[in-house]
Chains A and B, each alone.
Chain A
Amino acid sequence: MPERRGRGTAEWTLVAVCWAVVLVPLAWGVLQTVQKAAKLFQ
């Protein structure tokens, strides 16, 4: 059982890392666009 639990944890860590790899550049792009969009309200 502990082995099973350990593997599951590692798997969720991999999921988190993969999501971070794609969400970090996406968040940067969204932030850049929000800054650009803010010009409309200035």
Chain B
Amino acid sequence: MAGLLDRDRIIAAPDFNRWLVPPAALAIHLSIGQAYAFSVFKLPLTRVLGVAESAPGDWTQKQLAWVFTLAIVFLGLSAAFGGRWLERVGPRKSGVIAACCWGSGFLLAALAVHVHNVWLLYLGYGIIGGCGLGLGYITPVSTLIKWFPDRRGLATGMAIMGFGGGAMIASPLSQQLMERFATPASVGVKETFLLLGAVYFVFMLGGAFLFRLPPAGWRPAGWTPPAQQARAMVTTANVHADMAIRTPQFYLLWAVLFLNVTAGIGILEQAAPMIQEMFPGVVTAGAASGFVGLLSLFNMGGRFFWSSLSDKLGRKLTYGIFFGIGPLLYAAIPAAGRAGSVLLFVSACAVILTMYGGGFATIPAYLADMFGTQHVGAIHGRLLTAWSCAGVAGPVLVNELRQARLDAGLAGADVYGLTMYLMAGLLVAGFVCNLLVRRVDERFHMSDADLAAERGAPSEAH
């Protein structure tokens, strides 16, 4: 079994069709994208004992909020610490381990519901499942980048679009399964967790076994790397993951991702209450849930659109657009509220969400441009700690600000004005960070001998 998972076993034959890799990547990202739909379980999980309504001893919303937070924190940690291991053992073994973690995380969560132990839920879905999220996120991205040196943005966009799409599948599916399994004595969460865990395990395992790695020195037919002088930001060299974290470029890109995600969370976290409070009597609760659905569509679409477009525009210009237009859109949101224009409000939020998703999908290609493809999985993994930090800091920031404004007696657009201007300020800071990104100095590049030693091939492989 161990041999079956080895990196050496998955070096592709010369006639391997690289278009088999994106569906393998999507299978994994569609599965782990379920994490963004965890909120559909929150209410049923508060009624595990009482079933019809919460009973004494049932879990609280506050206790359950920690499950998602832990999952996102362990996503970042496992991606950061598992990235180098992934590059060493290859994507099949890493993908199988991710499948085991994600699947067993659900099984443990089901057991936690059965014995009603919240710590087991934290361990299962939050910690073990979170590790599956991290490994499952970076494994397909690292593999795709190696197969699509000519269209890195398109490749990473396809996979990371799946992460957004996974929530769209999981949310209605989980609701339908819970309705199907619900009885007078059960809310149906346990059975839903068991079934989802099994399905995701099989789906991810299928994806992991489809993965192949290109042989050393492989290039797409008819493609030659662009000349170094022509696109100075894009390197044909490679930077070791341990060396990459010593470069200013790594920290600038960390800040770019952190700021873009934090600003996006400012919209995502408050979407439903914000649209209702800004347009009281105009937007109903049902319409507000429709607004949330619309945002998730734009979030997913933006992942593919912006990432693919970055192949033409270049990564720096693409982020320049996010950070250049973004502040204007954030500033337009309170103005739309004051003017009573739902259309302007929805349009601004929708475009912002495309850029939020686009930021996630474009960053691996940006990293591959700056640091090469040899260690891109490990470097991407370490950069994803920015997501974890934003995932914790962002909601705290926006919720505290909203509450402070409500406590001050403000209403409508005035509640959200300060938050939106703050988010615009974060994007301006992101604009500066992106502007400061320069080509990585050659002293950080791996030598041909180091590269050949890692690849176990003659030095012409580069």
Contact = CB atoms under 8 A, between A and B. Distances in A.
A32 B168 contact: yes
Interface in A1-42: 7-8, 11-12, 14-15, 18-19, 21-22, 25-26, 28-30, 32-34, 36-42
Contacts of B346: 40
A42 to B, nearest CB: 7
A29 B210 CA distance: 23
Contacts of B287: 39-40, 42
A18 B293 contact: no
Nearest to B346: A40
> B-side binding surface: helix, strand, loop or mixed?
helix
Nearest to A4: B15
A40 B346 CA distance: 10
B23 A19 contact: yes
B294 interface: yes
Contacts of A36: 289-290, 292-293
A8 B17 CA distance: 9
A25 B346 CA distance: 27
Given A30-B165, A36-B289, A39-B286, A12 B23 contact: no
A18 to B, nearest CB: 4
B129 interface: no
A29 B165 contact: yes
B297 interface: yes
B20 interface: yes
B172 A26 contact: no
Interface stretch (B24-32, B142-150, B365-373): B24-32
Contacts of B167: 29
B119 interface: no
Contact of A22 (B15, B23, B286, B288): B23
A6 to B, nearest CB: 13
Given A26-B165, A26-B169, A34-B297, A15 B17 contact: yes
Contacts of B169: 25-26, 28-29, 32
B294 A37 contact: yes
Contacts of B290: 36-42
A41 B289 CA distance: 11
A30 B297 contact: yes
B17 A11 contact: yes
A38 B367 CA distance: 37
Contacts of B168: 26, 29-30, 32-33
Contacts of B17: 11-12, 14-15
The listed residue with most A CB atoms (<10 A of its CB), out of B15, B26, B27, B346, is B26
Interface in B158-183: 162, 165-173
B296 interface: yes
B19 interface: yes
B245 to A, nearest CB: 34
B290 to A, nearest CB: 3
B85 interface: no
A36 to B, nearest CB: 4
Contacts of A21: 23, 27, 206
B291 interface: yes
Interface in B270-322: 283, 286-294, 296-297, 300
Interface of A: 7-8, 11-12, 14-15, 18-19, 21-22, 25-26, 28-30, 32-34, 36-42
18 contacts: A7-B15, A18-B210, A19-B19, A19-B22, A19-B23, A21-B23, A22-B23, A26-B26, A28-B169, A29-B165, A29-B168, A29-B169, A32-B169, A32-B172, A36-B289, A40-B288, A40-B293, A40-B294
Given A37-B291, A42-B286, 12 more contacts: A11-B17, A14-B20, A22-B23, A25-B169, A29-B169, A29-B170, A30-B165, A32-B171, A37-B294, A40-B283, A40-B346, A41-B290
